[in-house]
Structure 1
Amino acid sequence: MRARPSSRLLIVNALGQVLLFLFEPKRGGLVGEPYWATPGGALDEGESYAEAACRELREETGLLVNDPGPEVAQRTAIFPLINGEFVRADERFFLIRVEDLSVSNDQWTEVEHRVMTAHRWFSAAELATASDPIFPENLADMLRDAGAWERKA
């Protein structure tokens, strides 16, 4: 099984909501049911987790940062990618606070345009009651532990 180091982004707005993307793999002719997930993706050759976090943030939202700050969480999980390949993912999470963010999909890949069909901001209560799966499964706990729900002055 291939190892897949990746950076994931916990983007939280001024209202304390987290940004998630809806993935609908079947719409793109791929494998899997709809689910919501944090933005992010695999590291490129020679790239650090922090560098990948900045690149993924730019590519998936249009937001430019030079430093994503410290890792706030890490997990290792085995799961299928949307092409059906199972990977052993080493995911590092970075908390990015924004006042407001208008998501741009200008730098999405062809596959992302096909399968990433929506984005929205979720409150802690909405994470708990969502009907579609959300990944990572412990996202609300991860956000709480990272201090994401706390208001910053």
Structure 2
Amino acid sequence: MPRRRSASRILLVSPSHRLLLFKIHYKAGALAGMSYWATPGGGLRGDESFEAAAVRELYEETGLDVQSVGCSITRKEFLWQMPDGEHVLAVENYYVVNAGAEYCSTTGWSSQERDAVCEIRWWSESELMSSTEEILPPDLPILFGQALLMAPDGSD
């Protein structure tokens, strides 16, 4: 049985109902040549909770400082290959956070994030649904639709 890797992912929604995604492109290692779009987020550290990891990862990867991310909207478990080649059982909780603006600071990024992330983009729901690029998780357009329904002004 592979090692369990717990992580938190954040659906960061802007006031104009757009979702922040990072384009990951691996240049070396077991995943060399692989590219996909994904939400901000990352692995839990030590005995950190999913919620605490989401708050920390959101700050590290976007510069957005929040006190809480609320409840998880979904949990996913799947087999995943890490950049070093290790196969893990990925366990990810997804959280919705409403951003005050379409802003993303990269000052808190690790060297690994700087090497892997090649583009940052805010996506509309229609752009996400019509994209032919790989977007993970595959049901992200559905999760984004759910996130929009939770947005404070999502009832228009």
TM-score by length of 2: 0.90
Give 1:13's aligned residue. Answer: 14
Residue pair 2:11, 2:97 contacting (<8 A) in 1 also: yes
- Separation in structure 2 between the aligned mates of residue 62 and residue 138 of structure 1, nearest angstrom: 26
Cα gap change, 1:149 to 1:122, in 2 (>3 Å): farther
Cα RMSD of the aligned pairs, angstroms, is 1.5
In the alignment, structure 1 segments of 5+ residues that lack a partner are: none
1:104 Cα deviation from its structure 2 partner: 1.0
Give 2:81's aligned residue. Answer: 80
Give 2:39's aligned residue. Answer: 38
Give 1:122's aligned residue. Answer: 123
Give runs of ≥4 in structure 1 deviating > 6 Å.
Answer: none
- Separation in structure 1 between the aligned mates of residue 38 and residue 6 of structure 2, nearest angstrom: 16
1:97 Cα deviation from its structure 2 partner: 0.5
In the alignment, structure 2 segments of 5+ residues that lack a partner are: none
- Separation in structure 2 between the aligned mates of residue 82 and residue 125 of structure 1, nearest angstrom: 31
1:90 Cα deviation from its structure 2 partner: 0.9
Give 1:148's aligned residue. Answer: 148
1:131 Cα deviation from its structure 2 partner: 2.6
1:68-115 CA distances to partner (integer Å, 9 max, x unpaired)?
A: 111111111111122222211110011000130421111111111111
Letter paired with 1:11: L
- Separation in structure 2 between the aligned mates of residue 25 and residue 140 of structure 1, nearest angstrom: 23
Residue pair 1:95, 1:148 contacting (<8 A) in 2 also: no
Residue pair 1:16, 1:148 contacting (<8 A) in 2 also: yes
- Separation in structure 2 between the aligned mates of residue 129 and residue 65 of structure 1, nearest angstrom: 31
- Separation in structure 2 between the aligned mates of residue 60 and residue 71 of structure 1, nearest angstrom: 19
- Separation in structure 2 between the aligned mates of residue 97 and residue 39 of structure 1, nearest angstrom: 13
Aligned residues: 150
